[in-house]
Amino acid sequence: MLLAFTWRTRAPSTTWIRYGRQCEQKRRSLLASDHYGHCSSIARKEQFHSSIPSNVEDPLSKKCSIATLTQPTIPSVGLAQDGGDLWDSPFGTLEAPDTTGGWSSPRIQSPEETNTNDHSEPDGNRQTRVERLDTFIDRHRTVLRRLGYTQANIEEWRNLVQTEQSNLFLESFRRATQQLDNEKQSSEKSIPWFVLLCVASRPVLAPSVVQALLAYLDSLSRQKGAGIRAYDADMATKLPQDDALIRKRLLWKTDHTWERLLSIEMVVLLEVYSHLISHARTSWPEILEATTISLLAWLPLTSPSKSSSWTTSLPRTRRLNDPLGQLDDFAALAFATNAVLKLLAQPCTSRTFKNSTLQEASQVRVVQYMASCSQPLDLNRTGYRGIASVQLMLRKTPNEIRWTELQSLSWPPWKYDRTAMDSCIGPEHGVSNALQALRRMREVGYRPAGWEHVATVYTGWDDDGSPTVQTRQYLGSFQEWQTEAIMWSARIRTTRTIREAWAAFQAYWDSGVKWRTTVCQSMLEKILLNIKREAHLKHQDEAGHKMTRKDLLPLQHDKKVYPGEVKEIWPSPPSSHLETYTRTAPPSLSDFLDLMEEHKVSLDNDALIHLLPMVTTWDDAHLLLNRQRPGITDRSPATLIDLFHSGDATSVTLASLLLKHLLQFPAKHKWSFPAAQMDLQLGPLRLNQVALSLTLGVIMSPLQFDLRLPMYLLAHLNKQAGLTKYHDRNEGNVVEQSGLVDVHKTFKDFAVEELSPFKAHLDRIAALRMVQQVVETVLRRQGSFGPQSVVDILTISFNAAQAAKDIAVNIEEHDPDDGQSRMESNTVKALIDQAEWCKMTIASTLRPTIFSMIQTDGPANTSSVGTYASTDRLVLPRLQVTPSPAILHAAIRCFGAADDFEGISQTIYFMQEYWPEIQAAMEQDRNGAKLLRRTLCATSLLLSVGSDGIRRDLTRQEVVELFLEKHMQQQSSAPEDVVEDVYKVVAVMDKEWGGWPLPMEVESYIMHRKDRVVMNKKKKKKRWYYS
């Protein structure tokens, strides 16, 4: 939904400017007083409200018209947070930098310019939080008993805040929700808010717990007399919490205006929902909109006029004046809603750009709420920036696409009329929604600051009016002194080719400013992406693939990809006349690192973690790491374990960085050292001491590590990195020096030479065992898996099932009378046991786990919500992970490879039941419709021939012949009832799915998949296998 119609607001009047100056003068005098740090928040509020002069006309008594929000407005928000830009306060802007460490806005690591004032002021009543939670509850046990809570309630809450089991959370919240719905009990006996805050502020929270907590809050908000009691809110403010986590999630507390605008009840409410929004962004983006709706329903219930502690703190003259009470309410609501817009603008952990549509839908709810108030609330600078940052992450609109198509290949990319009809297309087509938001912000009176100038570059226009390439980007907060460096970084990132980026960097070099990490990191991104592109083209050329102009462009699928929508580098223009001139050719990685060393610029750990996935070769990775962290690659695994044990955040980040580097090239390492935690055995298989097993040991141990480490491990196992290659199984040193499974220790009673041909198969089965351990560990710790991790799990399972099928085929073809290929019976039995375990695990363990990770735990609410303030039950998403066609295709292949036909049938039924959600996810994928048809083709193939369709010893043509033979004979490997059920579902969904695939379509599916060439070294013959 386009937000441009609700962005326009009115600038504060001169009366409010005078009033704001007086408020700021009073605030500065309070800050300078000796007793200010010791007075209570109530006393500070009394001083603030008593500072309003009696002869100043109340601006809220007037009704101001707004161009787009056609109801009366209240310009009170400009006082609290953005007045500094309007009346040139000596404090400047009151907004502190974003402490979330956005991946798209790297920090400028300059020791002499490190800001030591961030978050140095006391955070309300939460200066020190060292008390244990169980001790806190024990200390307030008498107070809770006096309030009417039983001893059983107190013990339940005590266990609740200490447990690590999600089942206990679910049981408590569901029981409390049922009591509220059935017994209609008073909210006085509800779970205290300090317990809710304690649960919500946990570092990791399972999606099922978030769902249960939101359902409880929804039921509580619909009770008679719903609200937050003053003593409950007071206990919540005294709750011990992690200050680092607070600074990361409670971004609105960087503006200390909340101390005099918000009631203590609203502060607690915003804290709880800030944590819930953070959990939604990291583990369940689909629930963002429901979380926002629930928060908006609670905001009026915690307004200052309904707060007993706030009301009694006001002077008598103010308590008797209703309009001034409304002033407090609207000022608090305006601050809260703009703070929510900022929280919703933070990027999601998984599928950052695809999930930006969910963030936009949540922000629409907030803006609608602001416009529907009796006196519409204003957007302040924070709100405008939140809206603009989300719009920057969205896909191009049709007008923006048209403008991009007409941009010339030269630089700057001015519009080039290809036909006479293009002359009617003006610069208005190049005005994106994000730029419209920034223009509305300037129209209402907010002077553009550094953030706005940088955002304008990403919208497609430089500050001098010349065009750039509109680029999808998340732009976090930063300080004004960082503007120049981040501006140059944006100019480099909004280029298309490596030469354009180098020209922008040379302009930065010529400006004479000191080199900064941010700008160098942006240039390194372009260099590494260009190296990756050249390596891809070289690989295609070696494979004999005929190159076309389309192959030179990145990621061309069913929908055309435009510059700025992907991070991949683009090729140089076909004509030298369009090439951008630079004094020197773009440097290599080594040359640019030399320049950085010459200018004394180094990268921090987060920057290295961001850049390492772009490195394609082992030499480049070593070069990058050794230049920035000398000696880091020489660290032993024992040293890594010590770094994890240290508990220091920097050490843990450094160890995680090195682990991710080792995972990227796992075949390059094999250690031997005494470490009990690394002596891993998965079932009967004992692992080699390689990077994969080292990472698994860290994940399964109680050590502190990067929470994204399990996802990195799954991604590399999906690429089969570090596993023995199939075409290397005859090499003499395979068993000794490579692979995941230690064959000598695993099968010490067997003849190792007999297992050498099956080393690659055992590695993939061991990878499935690793996946099983990782999934169990992450879910036990209330973690979750994103869509890409689900695809990784299914693909790893498919590889294991394919290896198990290959083992079965080789053993069936084994001739026991042949002396040259004779295998002992115990060796055959051991291999068969591993193959059978693989197929049984996929059908009995993996499939239920996958569907439990995708579906919500418990029945979804079916009633509808008319508006966000409605008394109807809150609608929660039915799925924790909305499966795209890529997930469905991977699931069909995985279950079919294991001959789990019930799994195929369950997947088809799942697609029918949740088709609206799947269709919405399909529209986000560029080749979603094509992947859906491939999913149906895979279903038809695997139902017909079963696991024979993925055999490695069959060529593609042989698979086609096998399928056509089964089709002509009307036979199938699956049971007849399963095939009939699948046919019926596809027939019902004929209009949506396009019907059952024809044999020709299935044949095309088999023959036109990505070729994987395996070279037979003896016959020197290439064969293409279906995989």
- Is 915 found in the same domain as 829? no
Burial degree of 898 (CB within 10 A; 0-12, 13-18, 19+): buried
Predicted confidence band at 97 (pLDDT cuts at 50, 70, 90)?
Answer: very low
Label residue 544 left, alpha or beta by phi (over 0 means left) and psi (-120 to 50 means alpha): left
- Is 771 found in the same domain as 881? no
pLDDT digits (tens, 9 = 90+) for 830-878: 888 889 999 999 999 999 999 999 987 644 443 333 333 333 578 889 9
- Is 792 found in the same domain as 702? yes
pLDDT digits (tens, 9 = 90+) for 950-1001: 988 888 899 999 999 988 888 888 899 999 999 999 999 999 998 899 998 8
pLDDT digits (tens, 9 = 90+) for 868-907: 333 357 888 999 888 889 999 999 999 999 999 999 999 9
Q: Pick the range with the lowest mean pLDDT from 496-510, 678-692, 909-923.
A: 678-692
Phi, then psi, of 984 in degrees rounded to 5: -65, -40
- Is 861 found in the same domain as 839? no
Adjacent-strand bridge partners of 1025: 955
Which residue, 153, 152, 157, 154, is CA-closest to 169? 157
Q: Pick the range with the lowest mean pLDDT from 224-238, 302-316, 364-378.
A: 302-316
Biggest CA–CA distance in the chain, Å, is 109
| Residue 141 within any structural domain of the chain | no
Contact criterion met (CB below 8 Å) for 910 and 885: no
| Residue 981 within any structural domain of the chain | yes
Q: Cα–Cα distance between 685 and 662 in angstroms, integer?
A: 22
Place of tokens 């879910």: 779
The gap from C-alpha 329 to its chain's centroid, in whole angstroms, comes to 34
- Is 1020 found in the same domain as 987? yes
Number of domains present in the structure of the chain: 2
Q: Which residues contact 233 (CB under 8 A, 6 or more apart)?
A: 193, 264, 265, 267, 268, 309
Above 90 in pLDDT, residue 111?
no
| Residue 778 within any structural domain of the chain | yes
The gap from C-alpha 541 to its chain's centroid, in whole angstroms, comes to 35
Q: Cα–Cα distance between 366 and 162 in angstroms, integer?
A: 34
DSSP per position, 28-61 = HHHHHSTTGGGS-HHHHHHHHHHTS-TTS--GGG
pLDDT digits (tens, 9 = 90+) for 632-644: 666 666 666 666 6
- Is 866 found in the same domain as 922? yes
Q: Cα–Cα distance between 338 and 350 in angstroms, integer?
A: 25
- Please tell me which of 66-75, 286-295, 1010-1019 the model is most confident about, judged by mean pLDDT: 286-295
| Residue 601 within any structural domain of the chain | no
3-class state of residue 290 by DSSP? helix
Q: For helices 264-283 and 322-344, what crossing angle results, to 10°?
A: 20
- Is 725 found in the same domain as 749? yes
- Choosing from 794, 820, 845, the residue where a domain stops is 845
What's the chain's average pLDDT?
75
pLDDT digits (tens, 9 = 90+) for 323-353: 445 677 788 889 999 999 999 999 998 888 9
pLDDT digits (tens, 9 = 90+) for 593-614: 999 999 999 888 888 888 888 8
pLDDT score, position 184: 57
- Is 911 found in the same domain as 779? no
Over residues 577-582, mean pLDDT: 85
Q: What are the Cα distances from residue 322, in Å, to 44, 317, 327, 329, 896?
A: 21, 10, 9, 11, 69
pLDDT score, position 756: 73
Q: Indicate if the alpha-carbon torsion angle 590, 596, 600, 604 is positive or negative.
A: negative
pLDDT digits (tens, 9 = 90+) for 701-742: 776 667 788 888 898 888 888 888 887 544 444 445 567 777
H helices present in 665-758, as ranges: 691-700, 709-718, 734-737, 743-746, 752-755
Neighbour count for residue 65 (Cβ, 10 Å):
10
Q: C-alpha dihedral over 523, 525, 526, 527, to 10 degrees? A: 90
pLDDT score, position 101: 34
3-class state of residue 128 by DSSP? coil
| Residue 169 within any structural domain of the chain | no
pLDDT digits (tens, 9 = 90+) for 62-93: 333 222 322 333 333 332 333 333 222 222 22
- Is 789 found in the same domain as 715? yes
Predicted confidence band at 1013 (pLDDT cuts at 50, 70, 90)?
Answer: very low
State the number of CA atoms in the 13 A half-sphere of 728 facing the CB: 15
H helices present in 140-227, as ranges: 141-146, 151-162, 166-182, 193-200, 207-221
pTM exceeds cut of 0.75: yes
The gap from C-alpha 235 to its chain's centroid, in whole angstroms, comes to 33
Neighbour count for residue 915 (Cβ, 10 Å):
14
| Residue 675 within any structural domain of the chain | yes
Burial degree of 777 (CB within 10 A; 0-12, 13-18, 19+): middle
How many H-runs (helices) and E-runs (strands) does the chain carry?
Answer: 49, 4
| Residue 890 within any structural domain of the chain | yes
- Choosing from 845, 868, 896, the residue where a domain stops is 845
- Choosing from 845, 873, 903, the residue where a domain stops is 845
- Is 897 found in the same domain as 748? no
Q: Which residues contact 700 (CB under 8 A, 6 or more apart)?
A: 773, 777
The token duo for 660 is 């991710």
- Is 837 found in the same domain as 861? no
CA-based end-to-end distance of the chain: 41
Over residues 514-534, mean pLDDT: 92
- Is 690 found in the same domain as 823? yes
Contact criterion met (CB below 8 Å) for 331 and 303: no
What range does the domain containing 892 cover?
A: 855-1027
| Residue 739 within any structural domain of the chain | yes
